[in-house]
Amino acid sequence: MRPLTADLSQLDRRPYFLWDEDMSIDELRQLLNGPPSDTRDRALGKMLREARDTDVWQFVAPADVAEALPRIERRLGRRSAFWHFLINGWKKDGLL
């Protein structure tokens, strides 16, 4: 497996939040920017569950999270309430 890194500019390394999966930062970015699929939803759910929220925005836009949230909420575990709070607050404020 590739080494883990918290430096998300090291595109050939594995992001710290994919501790159990051998996928580079570049491969993850390509997957998340690709067409909707079960594989993309699984990766997005894992990232939202495991990554720091400030790091999420280096891979996806808030609108992407808002669109996918109903499909992936079961994958978010204890972080589900946080993401619903954040996205619903941004919608209420007119930011999404």
Per-residue pLDDT of the chain (96 residues; tens, 9 = 90+): 999 999 999 999 999 999 999 999 999 999 999 999 999 999 999 999 999 999 999 999 999 999 999 999 999 999 999 999 999 999 999 999
Helix axes 38-50, 62-72, angle to 10 degrees: 100
Asked if 62 contacts 81 with a C-beta cutoff of 8 angstroms, the reply is no
Please, is 41 exposed, middle or buried when counting C-beta atoms within 10 Å of its C-beta (0-12, 13-18, 19+)?
middle
Domain count for the chain: 1
The CA distance from 16 to 64, in Å, is 21
Determine the pLDDT at residue 45. Answer: 98
What sign does the dihedral 74-78-79-84 (CA atoms) show?
Answer: positive
Residue 72's domain spans which residues? 4-92
